[in-house]
Amino acid sequence: MSFSFNFNQVLKSPTLDDAIIYDHLVIGGGPAGYNAALYAFRKGLTTAIIAKRLGGQLLNTSSVDNYLGIAQISGEGLNEAYIHHIKQFDIPMLEEVSITQLEKVGSIFKIHLDNKQILKAKTVLLSSGSNPRRLDVPGEETFSDKGVAYCAICDAPLFKDKVVIIAGGGNSAVEASLDVAKWASKVIVVHRSEFRADKILVDQMMNHKKISVFKQTQILEIYGDTRMKGIHVLDKSTNTERSIEADGLFVEIGNIPNSDLVKDIVTLSDSGHVLVDTHQRTSLPGLYAAGDVCESPYKQIIIAVAQGATAALAASEYINQLGGNYAYNE
């Protein structure tokens, strides 16, 4: 299944009005935020999306082939489909702005933008996503999407019958090695120290006939030509350098949540993710969070979409329960 339309011909969204109080404002232009705005609109809430860049991590995803109902689509193509859907309802989307402050005054949220505009809302969804933690070595940026990837669950099928390196030593890295081994001809796990993953997972990895493991091995550089060809590493146990050839590299060393905006007003996990309940509610009433910025075990598009819907439905219930009891002072 594919989507075909001229993105530049899509009608421009209405602007946001700082003179009104919105029911539900969405911070972040990714799958969670898109679906939250859609569900909020269909519940009759005044809503809008505010984002620095529409698309988020979708724009860094080369191919999506595990999204129900769509056999295969690029990340950019899926993002365009989402935006096309949103714009059919004239849901405002304010792009290329940054939020400098989020505060709650009485029962109303104030969202301060870097363009000096201040928007007001009864409820807010934070869907600001996260960024993959990077190795920060030469060649990583050059070969990103050219062999270097950050989501084994998403992209493992692209490396069928290939040699693949996994970088990392936690549960996500070890699980990635087992997942990728279902597709690759050989998997090489490289970690700079000792594994932190659960013993049962480490044992499975160590006993897998397709997986080789190199501990005390630090990646110094990723090399190649038009695509990556391998990595240069330092064997810390012998203090010697060598090269490991491979067709791909999955960096599985965690994600950095974009939660700085709310770090002083809601409860975060030790890793900086926003803690939410089953309704995507944060510790601050009226403020919800969804997608990769949340503390959740799986970072998947379809999960973020579902969390966005949950948050919007919960926000609608919250507004109904409060009725007209909103206190706000300038």
Asked whether residue 161 falls in the same domain as residue 184, the answer is yes
Asked whether residue 159 falls in the same domain as residue 77, the answer is no
CA 182 – CA 291 distance, rounded (Å): 27
CA 139 – CA 145 distance, rounded (Å): 12
Asked whether residue 192 falls in the same domain as residue 270, the answer is no
User: Do the domain assignments include residue 187?
Assistant: yes
CATH code of the domain containing 202: 3.50.50.60
CA 254 – CA 220 distance, rounded (Å): 19
- Output the six-digit token pair for 14: 């209405």
Query: What pLDDT does residue 8 have?
Result: 41
- Output the six-digit token pair for 263: 């770090």
User: Do the domain assignments include residue 72?
Assistant: yes
Query: What pLDDT does residue 172 have?
Result: 86
Asked whether residue 83 falls in the same domain as residue 162, the answer is no
| Mean pLDDT along residues 224-230 | 97
Q: Which of 251, 277, 303 is the last residue of a domain?
A: 251
CA 178 – CA 78 distance, rounded (Å): 28
Which has the higher per-residue pLDDT, 38 or 131? 38
Asked whether residue 68 falls in the same domain as residue 93, the answer is yes
User: Do the domain assignments include residue 327?
Assistant: no
Band of pLDDT at residue 328, cut at 50, 70 and 90: low
pLDDT surpassing 80 at residue 51: yes
User: Do the domain assignments include residue 124?
Assistant: yes
Query: What pLDDT does residue 90 have?
Result: 86
Asked whether residue 267 falls in the same domain as residue 121, the answer is yes
Band of pLDDT at residue 14, cut at 50, 70 and 90: low
Per the structure, the complete domain to which residue 54 belongs is given by 7-131+255-322
- Burial of 272 (C-beta count, 10 Å sphere; 0-12/13-18/19+): middle
Number of domains in the chain: 2
Quick: pLDDT tens for 185-212: 999 999 999 999 889 999 999 999 999 9
Q: Indicate the pTM of the whole model.
A: 0.79
Query: What pLDDT does residue 61 have?
Result: 73
Nearest to 170 by CA among 140, 149, 201: 201
| Mean pLDDT along residues 49-61 | 86
User: Do the domain assignments include residue 328?
Assistant: no
Asked whether residue 30 falls in the same domain as residue 109, the answer is yes
Residue 267: helix, strand or coil by DSSP?
Answer: coil
pLDDT surpassing 50 at residue 179: yes
User: Do the domain assignments include residue 216?
Assistant: yes
Asked whether residue 162 falls in the same domain as residue 301, the answer is no
Residue 100 near residue 263 (C-beta atoms within 8 A): no
User: Do the domain assignments include residue 166?
Assistant: yes
CA 52 – CA 27 distance, rounded (Å): 9
CA 236 – CA 233 distance, rounded (Å): 9
Q: Which of 224, 251, 278 is the last residue of a domain?
A: 251
Query: What pLDDT does residue 118 have?
Result: 95
Q: Which residues of 186-202 are buried (b: 16+ CB within 10 A; e: fewer)?
A: bbbbbbbeebebeeebb
Q: Which of 251, 268, 300 is the last residue of a domain?
A: 251
Residue 154 near residue 72 (C-beta atoms within 8 A): no
pLDDT surpassing 50 at residue 5: no
CA 263 – CA 269 distance, rounded (Å): 10
Which whole-number Å values give the CA distances from 69 to 2, 65, 114, in the listed order? Answer: 11, 10, 39
Neighbouring residues of 13: CB distance < 8 A, sequence distance ≥ 6: 87, 90, 91, 92, 93
Asked whether residue 144 falls in the same domain as residue 236, the answer is yes
Asked whether residue 59 falls in the same domain as residue 156, the answer is no
User: Do the domain assignments include residue 161?
Assistant: yes
Asked whether residue 211 falls in the same domain as residue 155, the answer is yes
pLDDT surpassing 80 at residue 10: no
- Output the six-digit token pair for 207: 């006993």
Asked whether residue 170 falls in the same domain as residue 226, the answer is yes
